[in-house]
Every structure is written in C-alpha cells, then in structure tokens.
Amino acid sequence: MAKQVSLTTQNRLIISGLILSTILIVAIAFFAIINIQKRLNEGYHNFGQIVSKMMAIEYFEIASQKDNTIYDDLKDYADTIVSAHSDIIFAEFKDTNGRTIYKAGDPGTPKIPNITVSSPLTFKGQNAGSVTVGLSGKIIYQISNTTRLSLMIVFAVAWIVFAFVILINTYLITRELRILHDGVHKISGGEFGYKIEEQDVSSEVKELFNSFNNMSHKLRIYEEQNIEQLTLERNKLEAILMSIANGVVVCDNSDNVVLVNNHAHNLLELEDNQMLNNKIQNYVDTSGNYCFKEKIEEFKDTPIRVMENKPLEFNIQVDKRTIKSIISPMFTRNKDYVGYIIVLIDMTKEAEIDAMKSTFISNVSHELRTPVTVLRSYIDTLYNYGNDFDYDTQKEFIGTINQEIIRLNGMVNDILDFSRMEANAQMEKSLNNVYEVVDNCINNVKTLTKEHNLTIITEKEETIPEFLFNYDGIERALTNLLSNAIKYSPENGEIKVAVRKLGENAEITVTDQGCGIAPEFHSKIFDRFYRVENNIHTVKGTGLGLHLVKTTIEKYHNGKVFVISELGKGSTFGFTLPINIHEEVFNGI
C-alpha cells in the first residue's frame, strides 16, 4: 500500500494559487483568441465585399464600351482576378434572371468556398444582375492559427514565469524556515548554544534568527550552570538504587529495562548489562519459564489507579531461591506515567522458615503427644490397678512417669525460652563459677546416661576465674548440648565434656561418638526449626535446642558457638564466653 503524503496548509495555498492563476490565464487567452478571430472574420468578409464591388464596377465599365467584345473582356478580367489571388476560389456573374453570365474558376476541381460575398450589378441605374465571389479562407485560417499559437506561447510563458516566481519565493521562505527548523531540532536534541550563521535573509527573519541565537546562548548558560547539579542528583539516585538491599528493575512504558541494580543482578543471575534495553518479558528463569511475562500482561491490563494503590505481588523461583516480586507504576512529578519498577525480595530464608515452622509444629505435636500418652496410660493404670502391683512395680511406673514429666518439662521450657528470647527479654548477669555450672548440668543428665549406658568424662583446666554470665541461661545451653549428645550416642558410648581457657575466653565443648553431621549442614545446624534428617539421624525433636544455645551465647553473652563434625566420626559442639566483661545487665537486641 502506497504511503499517503499529507499536504501542509502552505502547500495547499501554493497549489490553489497556481490552479487559480492557470484558470485565469486560460480564460483570458480564450477570450482574446475569440475576439481576434471575430475581428479577423469581419475583416476577411469586408475584403470579400471589396473584391465583389470592385468586380461589379469593372463589369459596369466593360459593359459601357458597347462593342461585341464584352464577354471576352469580362472573361479575361474574371480569370485574371481568380488566378491572381489564391484565396479567391471563383467569381460568378449572373443576370437579373439568375442565369450565369460567366463563372471564373477551375471547373475540374470544384471547391467549397469558406466565405461567399455578392454585390449587385447596376447599369445606368438599373439592376443588371449580381457578381458573387467565393473565398477559401486560407489567409484567415493561417492568420488565426498564427495568432492563437502566438497568444498561447505568450500566456504559457507568462504562466511559467508566474509559477517560477511563486516557487522561487516559496523556496526562499521555506529555506529560512528549514534553517530555523534545523536549529530548533538541534536545541531539542540537547545541542544548547547552537548558533544560526545564515545572514542572507530578510530583515524580519534575521531578527528572528538573532532571537533564536540569543535563546540558544541562554540555554547553554543554563545547562552549564545546572548540568553538574543534575548529574550529581542522577548519580545519587542511581547510587541509592544500586545500593538498595532489595533488587530493583526499572522498565519504561515500552517494557524495556533501563536500570538493574547490583542485588537484582545477583538474584536473577544476570551478567553485566545483560537485560538492559531488552524486554523484561524475555527473562527466563532456571526452569526455562518466562516468569515475568504473564504478570506484566496482568499489570498492564489493570487500571493504573488500581496498581498505584495496590501493587501486583507474586513469587518466582530462580535457582532454588524464592523471590518475591512487586510491580509498581512509575510517574513523573506531573503524574505522567513513564513505566514501572519491579522490586525483588529474596524470600528464600522466610520460605525455609515457614517450612521449618510446619515441621516444628508437627514435631512438637508428636513430641508432646508421646509423653502425654505415656503419662495418661501409666497414671490410668496406677489409678485403676495400683493395688494389684507390688512396690517395685509401682516404683517403676512412678519412675517412668517422672522421666516423661522431665522430658515434657524440658520441651515446654525450650518453647518458653524461645518465645522469651524472640521477645528480646532481658537476661541478667552475675559473677558465677563456670565449673559449678558444668557439674550441675552433668548431674542433671545422669538419669539419661544410665538409660543408654553412657559414660561422661570431664576435662577441666582450673584456671578460669569467676566472671559475669547468666547462670540459668548457660546451664540450659550446656544441658541442651549434653541432651543432644546423649540422644545421638550409641549404647555403651562415651561423652567428653571439656572446659578450658583460650586467651580471654572460656571454652566449653561436648564431644559424642554419634553419627556425625555432613559439612554442608554445619552453617544451618543452629538455625531455628532446622533439623538434619537422614537414614541415621532419625531422633525426633523440636528443632529449637541448638537455636536457643546460639541465641543465649551470641546474642546475650557476646560469645560464639561452633560445631566440628564428620559423618560417622561423631560431633563436637561447643561455645566460648568472654571472661573480662563488665556489664551488670546485658539487654537483648
């Protein structure tokens, strides 16, 4: 399909002027040709009239001779006149009765005259007949053609000159406008300070050019004064976006990516400038899915005012990471829509915690149900059939009930401690003896060690003085480590508790001979609700014990927890406490 060319108002006026001038010139030429033709016809007719009258007079003179040679003289005269002028076709003399006296002309090639003129023949005051002259019209035809051609040439030249003058004038005007247009285009393109050097123009246009140059100069000065500040503000904005902890992707209203900050590069696993100036819909996640495509279409199909009040939120998966994406419209200060911003938040940790919470609830429910079920069955048995049992059996039942109560109490205490620490409760410190804490913890788990035929060996360096720490908190932390060691140690195994001084710190470690922990789990083993489950490690629990140890030691005592373990070679859990600490009370953060 051919491209339609639209005419400007100026072009329409020029074309209209040329059409009107052409019509006017053609009308004048036509009127002039008609008038000239009319005058030529009149003159030609007068010429024929003069010829016929002249021949009538000559006939009168010949007839007045009164001799027998009248006919011959008339014949010679008529033939002479007809042959002497190519435009006279014939000359015919007739009497009063209309009979032809003589007709001069070529009888073999009769011609139809263009004009016939008749004059009466009079002799002695009486009508003697008539003379008719036939004219071919060749002269008038040639004169008419020559006149028409001359007039057409004159008017055509006049039209061409007129059109040429209009076009030249239009070109000169549009040339000045083009120069001004080029200057405006350069200014709009940011080329401030551009100067129009053209001088061969009219005074009015020259004044306009001078005004333009003055404006361009002032814009250049303004740019020089403000570009540094604008650049600084832009760099500050980009620096802020680049340093934001969350990922930020900025897209224009054509879906082209114009900015991606560093964190977004990491979250989306992009190379440098990989997505810049590309459509955000073309991004493919690790599974090969266009994870933004449908959501961007949903965003664009939703009214802007709705998205402004409630941004679109959704999750994407990139290399085992869960990323929360929030799409918000982007406006200028004048509320003009210019694109949208995608904020990327790494929710992997939260997703894992949610999964751990679900596991925690399941484990707690299971762990609580077991002692409650045991307590209920043993108490019900003693209540209904206690008199049927001997003393030793009753003592055994009561011992089992006591162990389950201790177990239940430990789980409840873990949950309460976790809740209190999450609420940033205070943990007061006082001067205490670390060896006393270790001995008390070992005594508290003797019942459990007897059940599994385990032996606890202690190694103490008697060089640690009393220092500030929360007695109950450290006791619970060490008891948790001992309980874990007992759970995962084989029957008839050995557990070693070591207390030593390392520089300005006291170090306490618990080593077991259990199944061990693979290195990839070491960094997560102290996270809340986290549990390593495999074919060997199947002991149930809440997943809070080691997290409470970490929180107590690191958050409330400025210490450090650690684990050393290999699969099949047992584990060593420990922590260090600073000895030279002077705060009387340490508040949780």
284 and 304: one domain?
Answer: yes
Selected residue with higher pLDDT from 448 and 250: 250
Q: What is the predicted pLDDT for the residue at 576?
A: 93
* Confidence band, pLDDT 50/70/90 cuts, at residue 275: confident
Kindly report the CATH number assigned to the domain that includes residue 389. Answer: 1.10.287.130
Whether residue 215 sits in one domain with residue 127: no
Q: Is residue 169 part of a domain?
A: no
Give the pLDDT of residue 535. Answer: 39
Q: Same domain, yes or no, for 207 and 293?
A: no
Angle at 418 between CA 421 and CA 512, to 5 degrees: 115
Q: How many residues does the chain have?
A: 589
Quote the pTM value: 0.39
341 and 365 inside one domain: no
pLDDT for 1 equals 42
314-367 per-position pLDDT tens digit: 888 887 788 888 898 888 777 888 888 888 888 877 776 676 666 666 666 656
Band (587; pLDDT cuts 50, 70, 90): very low
Encode pLDDT of 517-561 as tens digits.
888 888 778 776 566 654 344 444 555 678 788 888 888 888 999
Look at residue 182 and tell me if it is in a domain. no
Strand partners, 56: none
> Beta strands 455-460 and 494-502: pairing type?
parallel
Residue 573, pLDDT above cutoff 70: yes
Are residues 315 and 281 part of one domain? Answer: yes
Asked if 309 contacts 212 with a C-beta cutoff of 8 angstroms, the reply is no
What pLDDT shows up at residue 113?
Answer: 64
Please check whether residue 47 lies inside any domain of the structure: yes
Question: Residue 410: inside a domain, yes or no?
Answer: no
Same domain, 311 and 298: yes
Q: Distance (Å, rounded) from C-alpha 100 to C-alpha 104?
A: 11
Range of the domain at 556: 420-586
What percent of the chain is predicted at pLDDT more than 70? 78
One domain for residues 127 and 263: no
* 378 and 493 housed in the same domain: no
In a domain, 179, yes or no: no
Q: Do both 16 and 85 map to the same domain?
A: yes
Output 241 or 110, whichever has higher pLDDT. Answer: 241
CA distances from 120 to 62, 65, 161, 185, 430 (A): 15, 19, 54, 87, 164
pLDDT tens, position by position, 133-172: 888 777 777 777 787 787 778 878 877 887 787 777 777 7
Averaged over 31-49, what is the pLDDT? 80
**Average pLDDT over every residue of 279-306:** 85
In a domain, 175, yes or no: no
Residue 164 lies in a domain: no
Residue finishing a domain among 243, 273, 307 = 243
17, 87: one domain: yes
Residue 278 falls inside a structural domain:
yes
pLDDT at res. 550: 86
Q: Is the pLDDT of residue 498 over 90?
A: yes
The number of distinct structural domains making up the chain is 5
* 131 and 218, same domain (yes or no): no
User: Which residue from 279, 340, 283 is spatially nearest to 317, judged by alpha carbons?
Assistant: 283
Calculate ∠ Cα 145-150-152, nearest 5°: 95
Average pLDDT in the chain: 77
Chosen domain end from 215, 243, 271: 243
